[in-house]
Amino acid sequence: MSERVRAWSEPVVIPTYGVGAALKQPQFLNQRVYQGSSGVVYPYPVIDSVSDDKHDQTYTAVYLENAYLKVMLLPELGGRVQMALDKTNGYHFVYYNRVIKPALVGLGGPWISGGIEFNWPQHHRPSTFDPVDWRIVEHADGSATIWCSEIERMFFTKGLHGFTMHPDKAVLQISAQLHNRTAEPQTFLWWANPAVHVNDDYQSVFPPDVHAVMDHGKRDVSEFPIAKGTYYKVNYAPGTDISRYKNIPVPTSYMAYHSDYDFVGNYDHGKQAGMMHVANHHLVPGKKQWTWGNSDFGLMWDRQLTDEDGPYIELMCGAFTDNQPDFSWLMPGEEKRFEQNFMPYKGIGPASNANTDVVVHLSHSDQQTHVGVYVTSPRSVAVTLQRNGALLWQRETALDPVRVLVEEIPQREAFPAHELVLVVTDRVTGQQLMRYAPPKPTLQDIPAAATPAKPPAEIGSTDELFLNGLHLEQYRHATFKPEDYYLEALRRDPHDGRCNNAMGVLALRRGDFQAAEHSFRRAIVRITSRNPNPYDGEAYYNLGLALRFQSRYDEAFDAFYKATWNAAWQDAAFYELARIQSRRGDLGDALRLAQSALRRNASHHQARHLEIALQRRIGNIPAALAAIDAALALDPMDPGAAWEQRTIAGSSTVADALLWNAHLTETMALEYAHAGDAASALAVLAAGPQDAPLNQYLRALVLHQDGQIDAARSALQTAQACSMDWCFPHRLEHVVVLQHALAQALKDGRASYYLGNFWYAHRMPDAAIECWQHAVAHEPTNAIAWRNLGLAYTDHHGDHSAATAAYAHALAHDPSDARLRYEADQLARVRGDAPATRLQTLTSARPLVDQRDDLTIEYVTLLNNAGRYDEAVDIVRRRSFHPWEGGEGRVAAQYVAGLIGVAQTLLPSDAAASLAALDAAIAYPHNLGEGKLPGSNENHIHYWRGVALTALGQHDAATAAWQHATRGDSEPTSARYYNDQPPDMIWYQGIAWRKLGDAARATALFERLVAYARLHRDDVLRPDYFAVSYPTFLVFNDDSVLRHQLHCDYMEALGCLGLRQYDQAAALFAQVLTREPNHTGALTHQRFLNRTDI
């Protein structure tokens, strides 16, 4: 056997760009759309700014290395692979970004490109920029594993992924375990996200049976690899190879519709090397490519994310998912395991098939067959090529990850490739390593795109209503509400068992335990209407949870025991029974029940932790130690087993590897507290940070339940004195803990503030408002509570006056917070403050304005609207901007608007300077942070260029400019996204046609605007069911009805303006500005009323 795999950690210095401080205000964002599902980030804090300042930063890097590969991991950044090098040819088979340069792409803000990112329980991972626990384990066979582990804070599921490298094998093996540590079902997806370097020689390699690819949510579909239709608004007809990076000009995702193969990868035809991912397609079916696009837009995002390492694409590999969003269920206590393998290959051409032993290429033409074989470890192999069972060619040779086999085999006659079979066999063991037969070409039907859910009233059956509601829950839909579908079913059948249970689950998840109990009891009435022993015991289990959270343990015990009558809920129910018996002090029966849970589910890690603790408390130390060993064999980073090991043995290398922060110590303490083990709960809390308010409130509850009343009062006082920063309660237990605190200390404004955060995040705004009002009554200087009230008064009461007063209090108590100033300005816009008033307010707060991109853009917009174009352009030119992904376009729009305004003011006196300003508007400077999409709407620029060129006497050039201004889509739409055609551009097309002397075309366009507006003004618009992201990071809820009506009124105003129906246009502009005084389009274009030269 060769030398052992080297595994070690060492400091590494990486040039790093900084990020801003996390916002202290909770960001609820209940209507945010992100990656096709809910963009809720709570309870994680949001970081909404990144820096251009680069500094050297030291990270703890962890390495694996053998004779062929060297891999570097960064546990401080989510446990990602930062570098993966094929030592044999110096090829980085995943994208190696030599700087840490965050951009605002992640769910909570900062995200970095390159390496391999691991995304769960959603994409992108909420903690992708946070540290994870890690440890190195060396194995007897010479291999080594680096384990990375985390219990995430949004759904409290646990993710464990181990990176294993073996001697003499050029493969990085990743073993993943996902565990639901909660008492409720959770949903998840897992996408390993490797990035790879791209250039004009790059090709993505999907399996040969992939003939169709689908967009996010399966909302659109394209043929593959040769696209022949329109995809992402790009017309690829008559046929374009979209496996080639160079052929995709715009940001584009595509995911394989289906494949029976286990691989996906890439190949660089210039470097003759590529990356390969191999996994069991039954468990890991997801195969996706994402690119920013090979254009100015994409290259600008590359500059946002790296200094010198260039463009990349992502080749994502999904486990238990084949699309985004596409979530699977993880039941209480359930664990799912799978394996992914990443490896380089080289020299053989694009892969035709692959496994962890061998990659083969087989291509065939009438004259010859090309065969390539790459192996991942040294082997003596026999390679044969057969046609219809007859041997055409064979070769016996020794191969390894350096030496590959490549042969051009001439053919005497023409025949189709599907008659060939390529076989690779290990000559020593006789094992067949690979058998590949090219699939027979067939005419494949392209699958239909998905369709949105119908409104509840239009769905025919209660069965379909339940399934639609459950789908919205499972996929975490951002704008459609599952309860609307359940309630419609219950309107038709008030006792429907499934929908009552579903409504109970929703109530349970938001901490409304009494409402949950009511719904579960109604469900049980129906499911036991014919016999007392229902087919499914979920409602009994859920009832037990609702009762347990109300401390009604005897009733809960009965409900949980009834749930054990059904196998599906036995392990979860036995575990809950064991905790209740432990609380009662019956440790022997508690142990028996915990072991019953483990008999049903050996991977129920909390039940195993409880078994260990009970064995220790009973005094059976040998059994406890044996159970610890069993637990750590299943999960080498199990925190419960690690804590017990330290408790019993006095030390634990696993416990030493864990970050005992406030989150982990609270997690472990709650497990002990639920089991009535106050001493252990308090010991864990004592080991964690003492300045975490929720941990101190939990400590107070545990002490109180243990009869230590004076110590409990002291803990409450400690909790009240802790900093409120970034304290965002999210566990259901937090409701119990904080309600207990308020029962003991009614004047505790902090506990009220925290509980209000929980209620609002869980969509109980009235309860939240009551808590925050209580909080400011007892602590008037709590600026965040005042701010939260301002949000709630606006979004749920529609009371702008109360909201204004609340924000005034917030700013008075924290006048230096630029985020507060931004939100207050957004409130001013929502309530209809005049642009001049907003401009004056922001001018007086320029130091705060200058701290934020979004506030700066608001200020620049107001300057442009006020006609102060030079000032607006100057500010934009002097600042470096960093847009959110999906929010591109706002900076460039104001830059262009400012320059057009400058150009207009220079006409006709200085047409040359005017033309120079317009030419500058065409080319975006890098500091905008935004690139231009192919086919961008620039009709306005070219129209005014024509005017300036005419003033210069350059009539031919002017004609060419106006002809350019007529280009583009001329169909009005309900514009929602930055790349939709706005009505302004159609208006400019029309006036350009007029300048060209084609009055008929101009009139047709203007009449089209008027007709569309009048036809669609009263449309009832639903949110885009398949939205991937919304272009703005909204502070307040968006009034989509008002926005649509304003859009139509504005469109009609433009049409009337073009038709020179000035009275009607003026009335419509006035109507728009009455309802939205800050409407930029109306403010801009009403200036052209009565301008017969346009």
d(CA 955, CA 967): 19
CA 1001 to chain centre: 45
The first and second tokens of residue 868, run together, are: 């102060």
Name the residue type at position 112: I
The pLDDT value recorded for residue 1040 is: 85
**H helical segments located in 675-779:** 678-687, 693-705, 709-721, 732-744, 749-761, 765-778
d(CA 279, CA 291): 23
Structural Rg of the chain based on CA atoms = 32
d(CA 202, CA 244): 6
The pLDDT value recorded for residue 1029 is: 80
Judge whether 79 and 59 are in contact, CB under 8 Å. no
Question: Which secondary structure element, helix H or strand E, spans residue 896, and what is its range?
Answer: helix 890-906
Contacts of residue 301, defined as CB under 8 A and 6 or more positions apart, other chains included, come to 103, 292, 885, 931
Total count of residues recorded for the chain: 1094
- Backbone torsions φ then ψ of 829, nearest 5 degrees: -65, -45
580 forms beta bridges with none
Residue 418 is given by DSSP the state G
DSSP secondary structure, 207-266, as one string: -TT--EEE-GGG--EEESSEE-SEETTEE-TT-EETTBGGG--S-EEEEES--SSSEEEE
DSSP secondary structure, 436-458, as one string: E-PPPP--PPPPPPP-PPPPGGG
Taking the whole predicted model, whether its pTM rises above 0.85 is answered as: yes
Residue 904 is given by DSSP the state H
Q: Which residues of the chain have pLDDT under 50?
A: 1
- Nearest Cα neighbor of 565 from 575, 573, 557 is 573
Question: Which secondary structure element, helix H or strand E, spans residue 917, and what is its range?
Answer: helix 911-922
Q: How many CB atoms are closer than 10 A to CB 522?
A: 20
Question: What is the residue whose two structure tokens read 């009662």?
Answer: 584
Question: What is the residue whose two structure tokens read 């192996």?
Answer: 375
Buried b (16+ CB within 10 A) or exposed e, 241-251: ebbbbeebbbb
The first and second tokens of residue 655, run together, are: 């416990």
The first and second tokens of residue 420, run together, are: 């060939």
DSSP secondary structure, 852-870, as one string: -HHHHHHHHHHHHHTT-HH
- Backbone torsions φ then ψ of 615, nearest 5 degrees: -60, -40
d(CA 842, CA 856): 9
The pLDDT value recorded for residue 1 is: 47
d(CA 428, CA 688): 56
